Amino acid sequence: MTALPQTFSALSDPVRFAMVERLLAEGELPAGRLGEGFDISAPAVSQHLGVLREAGLVNRRARAQQRLYSIRPEGLLAVANWADEARRFWEASLDRLEKVLGKEAKKNE
Amino acid sequence: MSDIAERTELTLERRFKAPVDRVWEVVTQPETMVLWFGHDGWTMESHDLDFTRPGPWYAFMRSAEGNRFDVSGAVTEVSPPRHVAFTWAWHDALGARGHESRVSFTIAPAGDVTVFTLHHTGLPDAETASSHAGGWAAVLARLERQFTD
């Protein structure tokens, strides 16, 4: 599994975020199309796509002279599990906090 | 079907029958933080849980099954008795800090109770995220539609 910090940080860049959005909207696309609309060089596009691949967010395959990119669902879905763990921790903690404050309220009555 | 869009951010609200000042003390001071921070049955092995001042904090805990759970971060904002914000990251088995996220506690009076709101966001930089046109939530919502049909 790809490390979450890498996944989150890959998505925190506006260009990469937009590339992921584009792939979600349009499916598989060649690198050239993914760079359209951004004022960046071809090497910069490749670099962004490299970061997304390393973060496990996109897949790449070759077709003739083209490199085709698509979304790797596991990468983004892994992010979704993050909040489950946070919720369990805080719900349990706040239940205990409620008990601590509840005991005090009783004592003061 | 779960809502992925809502799963990268977490907001929990609780109402306590205690004054604002008391809730503030209990959720920021070391002596009382150890009474509630963590799952039921976990023990605090060592900690620096002082949310009354900016600076680093940590909590090294052990579960009833004997597993170690280490978490640490830095307190970034303290506005007594209403608001505290801090960073958060679990450690892996080798002690390396994982993904850093952000947490805040907000305390407000509401009649005869005190409303405590906890916000935990997985995004490394909330400002960057909210500046995205479609937004993080929108992307994940679309992803979910695409892959969970």
**3-class SS string, A16-33:** HHHHHHHHHHHCCEEHHH
pTM exceeds 0.80 = no
Asked whether the predicted pLDDT for residue B130 surpasses 90, the reply is no
A83–B39 CB contact, under 8 Å: no
Instruction: Give the whole-angstrom CA distance, residue A61 versus residue A69.
Output: 7
A80–B98 CB contact, under 8 Å: no
Count CB neighbours of A82 within 10 A. 20
pLDDT of residue A93: 96
Token pair 């049909």 in the structure block, residue: B149
Give chain A positions within 8 Å (CB) of B134.
Answer: 21
The domain ranges of chain B are 3-145
Strand B101-110 versus strand B83-90 pairing type: antiparallel
Instruction: Give the whole-angstrom CA distance, residue B147 versus residue B44.
Output: 41
Instruction: Give the whole-angstrom CA distance, residue B120 versus residue B85.
Output: 10
ipTM above 0.90, yes or no: no
B120–A86 CB contact, under 8 Å: yes
Q: How many angstroms separate the CA of residue B82 from the nearest CA in chain A?
A: 17
The pLDDT confidence band at residue B138, using thresholds 50, 70 and 90, is low
Q: With contact defined as beta carbons under 8 Å apart, do B22 and B116 qualify?
A: no
The pLDDT confidence band at residue B11, using thresholds 50, 70 and 90, is confident
Report the length, in residues, of chain A: 109
A42 residue type, one letter: A
What would the DSSP string read from start to end of A51-73?
HHHHTTSEEEEEETTEEEEEE-H
B14–A94 CB contact, under 8 Å: yes
Least CB–CB distance from B32: residue in A17, A86, A100: A100
Give chain A positions within 8 Å (CB) of B105.
Answer: none
Alpha-carbon distance values, A17 to A1, A47, A99, B73, B102 (Å): 20, 14, 43, 26, 20
- The predicted-structure confidence for B40-80, as pLDDT tens digits, reads as follows 899 999 999 999 999 999 999 999 899 999 999 999 999 99
Output B145 or A97, whichever has higher pLDDT. A97
Q: Does A31 touch chain B (CB under 8 A)?
A: no
Least CB–CB distance from B134: residue in A5, A21, A84: A21
Q: With contact defined as beta carbons under 8 Å apart, do B88 and B98 qualify?
A: no
pLDDT of residue A76: 78
pLDDT of residue B3: 34
The yes or no reply on domain B3-145 and CATH 3.30.530.20 is yes
Mean pLDDT of all residues in chain A?
A: 86
- The predicted-structure confidence for B82-120, as pLDDT tens digits, reads as follows 999 999 988 888 888 887 889 999 999 999 999 999 998
Q: Does A103 touch chain B (CB under 8 A)?
A: no
The average pLDDT across B7-12 equals 74
For residue B38, the chain A residue with the least C-alpha distance is A93
pLDDT of residue A30: 95
Residues B76/B89/B50/A86 CA torsion (nearest 10 deg): 100
Cα separation of the two ends of chain A:
53
Give chain B positions within 8 Å (CB) of A8.
Answer: 99, 122-124
The average pLDDT across B118-139 equals 57
Half-sphere exposure of A45 (CA within 13 A, CB side): 17
Q: Percentage of residues in chain A with pLDDT exceeding 70?
A: 92
Beta-carbon contacts of A43 under 8 Å, excluding residues fewer than 6 positions away, are: none
For residue B123, the chain A residue with the least C-alpha distance is A8
Asked whether the predicted pLDDT for residue B6 surpasses 60, the reply is no
The pLDDT confidence band at residue B137, using thresholds 50, 70 and 90, is low
Output B1 or B30, whichever has higher pLDDT. B30
Helices (H), B81-135: 126-131
User: Starting at the edge strand that comes first in sequence, how are the strands of the sheet with B43-48 ordered?
Assistant: B9-16, B113-121, B101-110, B83-90, B68-79, B55-62, B43-48
Residues B59, B60, B62: CA angle, nearest 5 degrees? 130
Q: How many angstroms separate the CA of residue A92 from the nearest CA in chain B?
A: 5
